[in-house]
Chains A and B, each alone.
Chain A
Amino acid sequence: MAQSLAKEFTKGLWAEMPPFRLVLGLCPVLAVTKSVENGIGMGVATTFVLVFSNLLVSLLRNIIPAKVRIACFIVIIATFVTIVELMMQAYAYQLFLKLGIFIPLIVVNCIVLGRSEAFASKNGPIVSVADGLGIGIGFTMSLASLGAVREFLGNGTLTIWEGLPVFSMGPDFIPFRFMLEAPGAFVGLGLMLFLMNLIPQK
């Protein structure tokens, strides 16, 4: 039991790490990774929704009729997204403003619905929580790493919390602004995907 729990948890961190191994949910990845802070914030919000929607879907998996399951999953996910939205408005308002419409758009993030459909609807609640947590943390790490690359090259800083950089290259650094613009997001993610593909997949 403990072994399978660990397996479900760790697969999200590497073997099925979204969005590099599992190319899903690209919109927030491209849109919010202008800084590490935004990336982590988005990742944590998505993880929260993933864990709780997986838990609820798994608990209700024998009650939900198969024909209307997708609609039921979406309502469950939308409920947790609303909770996250209200919580961020209360406790992390600056971050909420920066992430904008991408918070409500977690509803249509294919990773969340994908995990409900592919995993939680077929497995028990504890394993489903482990799966959601693993995939969520993997997603947060991807967002943070892409955010770090883009912020470092585009602005010469790394920001973890409240807009205060923990690391700065100083005024002599000539920023590569392209990385903060829209095309930089595409090219940056494409090249990171390329680097991940260079590492052999087991």
Chain B
Amino acid sequence: MSDLFVLAISCIFINNILLAQFLGQCPFLGTSKKMETAVGMGMAVIFVLVMAGIITWIVDVYLLKALNVEYLRTVSFILVIASLVQFVEMFLKKSIPALYAGLGIFLPLITTNCAVMGVCLINIKEEYSFLQAVIASFAYAVGFALALILFAGVRERVDLGRVPKPLQDTSIGLVTAGIIALTFMSFKGMV
């Protein structure tokens, strides 16, 4: 039990997917200009990543490894993720319109979010058990949302300041992200 707790903490803080593993940078810089979009993207990623983590783990263990065709992993994972996103979008649109209104525009973007694919691959590479894979997927997604929302908060304030023109937008965004990454490095001694 405590092992799983340690795994969750290390996935959220120490190996934070955005600030230590460098996955999912496009939405990190793209949707962090406003707090609203950051929260929407964060929630959509948590939702999809947990489902993708579970399904790809099952596909890998019971299909690819069982049939001895591991070289098809890249192709099959991306297909699973793309169809999952499409399916979730259709399901939400029909059944839970309120949630769809909130997450809708972020869902298609998730297909090419390498955080999702990345975590699925990490789960396999680290040879996690099913339970560990579920916890790790959820914890990485929470870490994603946490870093994204924190970053959006800082970025809104930075935009109010007078930033020199060549530094504006992505450039100052990256430097800010570097400083946040520095604060996350202090978690390193924790586990």
Interface of B is mostly: helix
Q: Is the CB of B178 within 8 A of A101?
A: no
**Within 8 Å CB of B29, what residues of A?**
23, 26
The interface size bin for chain A is 35 or more
Given A27-B24, A190-B171, A190-B172 in contact, is the A82-B78 Cβ separation under 8 Å? Answer: no
**Within 8 Å CB of A27, what residues of B?**
22-26, 114, 118
Q: Is the CB of B181 within 8 A of A182?
A: yes
Interface centre among B22, B122, B170 (most CB of A within 10 A): B22
Interface of A is mostly: helix
* A30 (CB) vs chain B CBs: closest residue: B22
Partner of B166, one of A71, A75, A198: A198
**Within 8 Å CB of A107, what residues of B?**
74, 78, 117
Q: Is the CB of B175 within 8 A of A82?
A: no
Distance between B113 CB and nearest chain A CB, rounded to angstroms: 7
Is B46 among interface residues, defined by CB-CB distance under 8 A?
no
**Within 8 Å CB of B19, what residues of A?**
182
Interface bits A165-202 vs B (CB < 8 Å: 1, else 0) = 00000000000000001111111011101100110000
Partner of B79, one of A30, A75, A109: A75
Given A26-B29, A27-B22, A109-B114 in contact, is the A79-B75 Cβ separation under 8 Å? Answer: yes
- Considering only residues 57-102 of chain A, those with a C-beta below 8 Å from chain B are 70-71, 74-75, 78-79, 81-82, 85-86, 100-101
Interface bits B156-167 vs A (CB < 8 Å: 1, else 0) = 000000000111
Distance between B23 CB and nearest chain A CB, rounded to angstroms: 6
Is B185 among interface residues, defined by CB-CB distance under 8 A?
yes
Is A5 among interface residues, defined by CB-CB distance under 8 A?
no
Number of contacting residues on B, CB 8 A?
43
**Within 8 Å CB of A186, what residues of B?**
174-175, 177-178, 181
Q: Is the CB of B178 within 8 A of A184?
A: yes
Partner of B114, one of A108, A184, A198: A108
Q: Is the CB of B72 within 8 A of A82?
A: yes
- Considering only residues 106-126 of chain A, those with a C-beta below 8 Å from chain B are 107-110, 113
Given A101-B118, A105-B118 in contact, is the A193-B78 Cβ separation under 8 Å? Answer: no
A79 to B20, CA, bound (A): 29
A82 to B79, CA, bound (A): 14
- Considering only residues 9-60 of chain A, those with a C-beta below 8 Å from chain B are 23-27, 30-31
* B112 (CB) vs chain A CBs: closest residue: A108
A71 to B25, CA, bound (A): 22
Is A104 among interface residues, defined by CB-CB distance under 8 A?
yes
Q: Is the CB of A189 within 8 A of B185?
A: no
Partner of B75, one of A75, A110, A194: A75
**Within 8 Å CB of A108, what residues of B?**
78, 111-114, 117
**Within 8 Å CB of B26, what residues of A?**
24-27, 110
Instruction: List 11 A-B pairs, Cβ < 8 Å.
Output: A27-B23, A71-B79, A78-B75, A101-B121, A105-B114, A107-B117, A182-B181, A185-B178, A186-B177, A187-B179, A190-B173
Which 5 A-B residue pairs are closest in the complex by CB-CB distance? A190-B174, A186-B178, A187-B178, A197-B166, A26-B25
Q: A71-B79, A85-B74, A183-B179 are in contact. List 20 more A-B contacts (CB 8 A).
A: A26-B25, A26-B26, A70-B82, A74-B79, A74-B111, A75-B75, A100-B125, A101-B118, A104-B73, A105-B118, A107-B74, A108-B113, A110-B112, A183-B181, A187-B174, A187-B175, A187-B178, A190-B177, A197-B166, A197-B167
